[in-house]
Structure 1
Amino acid sequence: MSLARALWAENADLAAAALEHPFVQGIADGTLPTASFAGYVAQDAFFLEAFARAYALGVAHSPDRATLDAFADLLAGVREELRLHASYAARWGIDLAAVEPAPATLAYTDFLLATAAFGRADVICAAMTPCMRLYAHLGQSLAGREAETYAEWVITYADPGFEELAGTLEALLDRSATDGPELHRAYRRAMQLEVGFFDAAWRRA
């Protein structure tokens, strides 16, 4: 089993908690209030900007051309995701420039940027892979039974192109990493922060 697959399996409890979370299930069945989803989109856009910066730091700290190219491709993928959020914002009148990050959002972005600033490509990958793999997992798990209200969200993360991006990051993790406790801690912490992000969004619902 690859390291990326082993880390994902090791955190199956948190993946299940995210999928079963009432916020995610509210997206799936369309019962989540649109105001709550709009608030989530605003927070997620703030998060994704930090995620993009972390990829940029990964580019800067890349030890070789293959790692640089992989981080650059992943950064392009986040830019596409941000365009989706911009379309939501335009549709619902959200001013993304005026978003005040919630504590759960800041906890996650601070963790990612601090990890990326440290400069080790393998730890950066371990901290960033959970977001990509988890959202691919959520999209694929909900695909085919999503309500119309938030179908675009499910379709985006169920798309094979998003799975390919998640696989790119996992392959980079496998290629760059030597297994050790620091990688396991970074991966686990990111998964915990993902569930915490949904918890915070649900409390605002």
Structure 2
Amino acid sequence: MLHASLWEQNADLTQRIVEHTFVRGLADGTLDRNAFRRYVAQDAFFLRAFLKAYALAAAKCDDLERARVFHDLMTGVLDELKLHGSYSATLGINLDDVEPYAATRAYTDFLLRVAWHGSLAEIIAAMVPCMRVYQHLGNQLVASLRPDHPYERWITTYAGDDFGELCARLESLLDEIATNSPAVHDAYRYAMQCELDFFSAPLENLQ
């Protein structure tokens, strides 16, 4: 299957993400609270662009069943934004006034450019890595949970069945629509690199 092949072809970036200082801090609970605060703000900015990309993908669907999948995926993003909204109350973040880091802007600009100008196959290829990486991290990190783990809610959200189902549905669309063309491979690979850069940004930008 294409989704599995692309995931395997980018295993080097997956491993770098799993071993990233930010992710290891999430796993063992030692991640600095301010770094997590910066991450949540940037992720909320990113998710709003992700929502728009899903909407643009749905607009390119003539098949109603495919459009329904994107509708459900948009609902999933809105649920994630609710989670971030609850974080904002405890972390003191104004999610309506987030200045994106360079890594965040590079990622969102890429997604929206592909969503506006790319094929449906390229759009999905650009969006699958975010879903797949987060599901992978949730499943990897859930084993590290302990009583009073500060990031338990983040980990269990992405290890949950609901998120896993959405990821599987998007990957199924990728298998159905796309081929392992250079454009599809490049979109997937660049999105994976953006994911790695995204986890670095909260540790590099201290304001």
Instruction: Tell me if structure 2 keeps the 8 A contact 1:52–1:78.
Output: yes
**What is the match of residue 159 of structure 1?**
160
Q: Find out whether 1:35 has 2:65 as its counterpart.
A: no
Q: Distance in 2 between matches of 1:78 and 1:46?
A: 12
**What is the match of residue 67 of structure 1?**
66
Q: 5+ residue gaps in structure 1?
A: none
Corresponding residue pairs, total = 204
Q: Find out whether 1:176 has 2:177 as its counterpart.
A: yes
Q: Find out whether 1:56 has 2:44 as its counterpart.
A: no
Question: Residues 27-53 of structure 1, C-alpha deviation per residue, up to 9 Å, x if partnerless?
Answer: 111111111101100000000000000
Q: Distance in 2 between matches of 1:136 and 1:52?
A: 18
Residue type of the alignment partner of 2:192: M
**What is the match of residue 131 of structure 1?**
130
Instruction: Tell me if structure 2 keeps the 8 A contact 1:58–1:119.
Output: no
Q: Cα distance, 1:179 vs. partner?
A: 2.7
Residue type of the alignment partner of 2:177: S
Aligned partner of residue 96 in structure 2, secondary structure = helix
Residue type of the alignment partner of 2:80: E
**Greater alpha carbon shift after TM alignment, 145-154 vs 95-104:** 145-154
**What is the match of residue 196 of structure 1?**
197
Q: Cα distance, 1:63 vs. partner?
A: 3.0
**Greater alpha carbon shift after TM alignment, 42-51 vs 142-151:** 142-151
Q: Distance in 2 between matches of 1:169 and 1:16?
A: 22
Residue type of the alignment partner of 2:67: L
Alignment of 1:111-126 (within 5 A): 111-126=110-125
Q: Distance in 2 between matches of 1:187 and 1:119?
A: 13
**What is the match of residue 87 of structure 1?**
86
Q: Cα distance, 1:196 vs. partner?
A: 0.5
**What is the match of residue 24 of structure 1?**
23
Aligned partner of residue 180 in structure 2, secondary structure = coil
Q: Cα distance, 1:177 vs. partner?
A: 1.1
Give the aligned CA root-mean-square deviation in angstroms: 1.0
Q: Cα distance, 1:163 vs. partner?
A: 0.8
Q: Cα distance, 1:202 vs. partner?
A: 2.1
Q: Distance in 2 between matches of 1:115 and 1:55?
A: 11
**What is the match of residue 10 of structure 2?**
11
Q: Distance in 1 between matches of 2:60 and 2:187?
A: 18
TM-score by length of 1: 0.97
Residue type of the alignment partner of 2:116: A
Residue type of the alignment partner of 1:184: H
Q: Cα distance, 1:144 vs. partner?
A: 2.3
Q: Distance in 2 between matches of 1:169 and 1:201?
A: 28
Aligned partner of residue 131 in structure 1, secondary structure = helix
Aligned partner of residue 179 in structure 2, secondary structure = coil
